[in-house]
Amino acid sequence: MTALYFVKLAVWEPARLVERALMWWRSEPRPLPHGPIFVLGYYRSGTTHLQDLLRQDPRAGYMNFYQCFFPTAFTSTERWVKPFFEWVVRTTGFEHPAHGVPFSHALAGEDDVAMVASGSRLAANWAQVFPRSFREIYTRTGLMEGLTADEAAEWDRRLHDHLWRVSEANGHKRLVLKSPPHTGRLGTLARLYPDAKFVFIRRDPYDVYKSNLKLWKSFEKTSLQAMTPEMVRDHILWSHDQVHAAYERDKATLAPGRLCEVAFEEFVADPMGTIENIYETLGLDGFDEHAHVFQEWLDAHHEEEPAPYRFTDDEIAAIEGALGRWIAHWGYVREPVMARSTA
């Protein structure tokens, strides 16, 4: 896997140099013409489904997986290379490693995956590649703490460089973006994009923990260090707590109309009502005009309610010990008898 990563970087290096030269010649990137909409939320909190619905607005743009996997070369290659890669994944029946659905390069990608793909050392996803250094890496790249001034400036530049070219590829529509580590970077994103809007989605911390155990199983294919169940548990609980602490700290600095908070459970129960509330809270126009588009997408992407998770006493104790303040803050406290079902 490591060898393939460096082979990919080498193969696409000529295209990267061409794109660098073109951007230098055009004095790019410039400011984005529209403030992005960032979907925030911890892993497995419903961010993907929410972003997918929001980007059905025909005035919205997004970063697709081709632009995510080839972030330094997609401008000059997407038109002719992406159809071939799409044929490959369709022919092989390749599935999305994290979501278990048929893969397509038209699916929405994540900024941190793009940073890894570009070779940047400042991507938070490196923390899952090197889990023994998880806290150190995630503190610096997911919480933006301990970066040098040069590293912080490099992070800003890399993100904006990529988003400007994604915006250009989308005809400079307003971008709807999602990357779970952004939840701990709210202050940084608000500074970089003063006209950006934010949608934060929360979910029952008990269920988020269980779902993340499955997600970390998929990381085993790309991790370069062995993981133990105890290590995975501690990383999930620690990062969930720290990310939301950073989010709560930074959201207080936002002006009214820049942030809308939703609950996963309410979104699942009433997605159209949730989207309407987001548009109203953020001062976005066009909901009534495009409501039929959202509804048509929901009708075509109906998902069955997952079976309830079951927990051991040890899991309950660990979750409540690490995430008790969020369980109480969001009102997810469970009755002891209900909570202590056996696995």
Question: Is 56 a member of any domain?
Answer: yes
CATH of the domain at 135: 3.40.50.300
237 assigned to some structural domain: yes
Give domain status of residue 327, yes or no.
Answer: no
CB atoms within 10 A of CB 51: 23
pLDDT score at 29: 64
How many residues are listed for the chain in this entry? Answer: 343
The pairing of strands 174-178 and 37-40 is: parallel
Rounded distance between C-alpha atoms, residue 276 and residue 104, angstroms: 28
- What's the helix, strand, coil split of the chain in %, to 5? 60, 10, 35
- What 3-state DSSP class applies to 40? strand
Whether residue 34 is contained in a domain is answered as yes
First to last CA, the chain: 34
Contacts with 213 (C-beta within 8 Å, 6 or more apart), sequence order: 232, 233, 236
80 domain-assigned? yes
Residue 334 · residue 206 · CB < 8 Å? yes
The domain containing residue 64 runs over which residues?
Answer: 2-304
**Rounded Cα distance, 239 and 222, in Å:** 20
Kindly report the number of other CB atoms within 10 A of residue 90's CB atom: 12
Q: How far is residue 121's CA from residue 137's CA, in Å, rounded to a whole number?
A: 9
Nearest partner of 240 among 316, 314, 181, 188, judged by Cα: 181
Q: Which pLDDT score is estimated for 178?
A: 97
What are the C-alpha distances in Å from 161 to residues 93, 114, 121, 278? 33, 12, 16, 28
Give me the DSSP letters along 288-332: HHHHHHHHHHHHHT--PPPPPP---HHHHHHHHHHHHHHHHHHT-
β-strand partners of 202: 263
Structural domain contains residue 44 = yes
In a domain, 316, yes or no: no
3-class DSSP string for 192-220: HCCCCEEEEEECCHHHHHHHHHHHHHHHC
The CB density around residue 329, as the number of other CB atoms within 10 Å, is: 13
Distance CA 92, CA 84 (A): 12
Per-residue model confidence as pLDDT tens for the chain (343 residues): 444 444 445 555 555 555 665 555 555 668 999 999 999 999 999 999 999 999 999 999 999 989 998 888 788 787 878 878 788 778 877 666 655 567 678 889 999 999 998 889 999 999 999 999 999 999 999 999 999 999 999 999 999 999 999 999 999 999 999 999 999 999 999 999 999 999 999 999 999 999 999 999 988 888 899 999 999 999 999 999 999 999 999 999 999 999 999 999 999 999 999 999 999 999 999 999 999 999 999 999 876 677 889 999 999 999 999 999 999 999 998 865 444 444 3
Number of domains in the chain: 1
Helix (H, G, I), strand (E, B) or coil at 33: coil
Q: Output Rg (C-alpha) for the chain, integer angstroms.
A: 20
Give the three-state DSSP class for 95: strand
- For residue 333, the model assigns a pLDDT of 86
CA-to-CA separations, 41 to 7, 57, 178, 246, 248, in angstroms, rounded = 33, 21, 9, 12, 12
CB 158 within 8 A of CB 118: yes
d(CA 105, CA 325): 39
Residue 180 domain flag: yes
Both tokens of residue 147?
């970066």
Torsion 182-69-3-121 (CA) sign? negative
